[in-house]
Amino acid sequence: MNSSAAPLISVIVPNYNGAATIGGCLEALAASDHRNFEIIVVDDGSGDGSVALINSFIKQHRNRQGQVRREAESACRLITLKRRRGASAARNAGAAAARGGYLFFIDADCLVLPDTLSLVARAAEEHGAGVVVGGTYTLQAYDAGFFSNFQSTFIHHFETKRLEEPDYIASHAMLIAADTFKAGGGFPEAFMPIIEDVEFSHRLRRHDFILRMAPQILVRHVFNYDLRRSLANAYRKARYWTTYSLANRDLLTDSGTASRELKINVAAWGVSLLLLLLALLLWWLGPESAAVVGELGNNSAAAGEGVASPWALLFTALVVQVANGLEQRPLLASFYRAGGIMFALGAGLYYALLYPLPVGFGALRGALGYLAGEEGMGHGR
């Protein structure tokens, strides 16, 4: 596709203390094989020196080869907010300043591929203003550690599961016409973190706009996750997503990374843990306890029979986990595509045995938050 004939794309990048990644983000955009775009970076009150890095990038690309090129003068602009207002406010400020007919939102820790913007421009031409198009992460993260790759594959898999009718479009790769953005009201600024794009997407759907996923539109995310960060991220997302979902009355919806499979995985983990604890309790109390439990359950009082048998409880837990594993087969296949058999094995075990713990506790905290009226609060990402 001829870049000069394609619609102008305004790439909007919110930044808050992104010194570790914003340089790579901007350089990746500059290396794009598509040329008809502008970059708008909106700094949300950073204090880490990232603004200096952004200004250095602007100066470097404005004055390459000792000449000021007209097309480069507007290639990258920096907008600075006077105080920290959250990622939603930063994105909205970028959209208000955009010259392009189409907006493409990414994050400061995302790196586009050389063909990402060409694919974005093609999607804009193919779908038109009435369709909001989403991209996703590459299977492997930019930093490529185990926990980073787990998260990148996890998000890629569930965001691309439903291409025609996704529940939401994530702001790390969202293409939307400028007029559509205005009609939808922009990102919510006084809202819970993590899920501003989910609320905005739901609002767009209520305005009869169409959501579509384009899995070929990819960005590489810099996670830098270790075990602690991975678990903390799972807890945080589950907390706010649960609060929002209860308020929105769609807790059981198959919603991207808040997928039906994840909910089944957490439920299977909880049931299996309960069965394991009951089995251990019966073993610890001895055969007499099995008889008592059997009588209470209107079953045989003989130790080792019916619900009174620890072995029966363990077998039931095993059946639950096998059924859960069958349900998770597509995700396991994605883990395999991302890193082969050893990565798939490790990621599958982490997902089944440890990951449900922070998700479950986060969901519990989110439910308590909903009961306490925490339906819209705090800064965005």
pLDDT, tens digit (0-9, with 9 covering 90-100), for 301-329: 444 444 458 899 999 999 999 999 999 99
- Whether residue 68 is contained in a domain is answered as yes
- Whether residue 144 is contained in a domain is answered as yes
- Whether residue 30 is contained in a domain is answered as yes
Same-domain check for residues 173 and 69:
yes
Same-domain check for residues 167 and 46:
yes
Same-domain check for residues 9 and 59:
yes
- Whether residue 254 is contained in a domain is answered as no
Same-domain check for residues 105 and 208:
yes
Report the number of distinct structural domains present in the chain.
2
Quick check: 366 and 193 in contact, CB under 8 A?
no
pLDDT, tens digit (0-9, with 9 covering 90-100), for 138-188: 999 999 999 999 999 999 999 999 999 999 999 999 999 999 999 999 999
Q: Among 205, 225, 245, give the residue marking a domain's end.
A: 225
Amino acid 6: pLDDT: 75
Residue 48 pLDDT exceeds 50: yes
Q: Among 225, 248, 269, give the residue marking a domain's end.
A: 225
Same-domain check for residues 166 and 295:
no
Same-domain check for residues 331 and 217:
no
In this structure, the number of other CB atoms found within 10 A of the CB of residue 145 comes to 14
Same-domain check for residues 43 and 186:
yes
Q: What pLDDT band is residue 66 in, cutting at 50, 70 and 90?
A: very low
Same-domain check for residues 213 and 287:
no
What token pair was written down for 33? Answer: 């094989």
Residue 338 pLDDT exceeds 70: yes
**Helix 227-248 / helix 146-159 crossing angle, nearest 10 deg:** 30
Same-domain check for residues 126 and 213:
yes
Amino acid 2: pLDDT: 56
Residue 64 pLDDT exceeds 70: no
Residue 70 pLDDT exceeds 50: no
- Whether residue 290 is contained in a domain is answered as yes
- Whether residue 366 is contained in a domain is answered as yes
Lowest mean pLDDT of 17-31, 156-170, 248-262, 311-325, name the range: 248-262
Amino acid 253: pLDDT: 86
- Whether residue 237 is contained in a domain is answered as no
- Whether residue 270 is contained in a domain is answered as yes
- pTM of whole model > 0.85? yes
The CATH number of residue 77's host domain is 3.90.550.10
What token pair was written down for 353? Answer: 């045995």
Lowest mean pLDDT of 110-124, 163-177, 255-269, 331-345, name the range: 255-269
Q: Among 208, 225, 242, give the residue marking a domain's end.
A: 225
Same-domain check for residues 215 and 324:
no
Same-domain check for residues 267 and 216:
no
Same-domain check for residues 155 and 203:
yes
Domain region containing 190: 3-225
Quick check: 185 and 91 in contact, CB under 8 A?
no
Give residue for tokens 């095993």.
Answer: 318
Amino acid 255: pLDDT: 82
Amino acid 194: pLDDT: 87
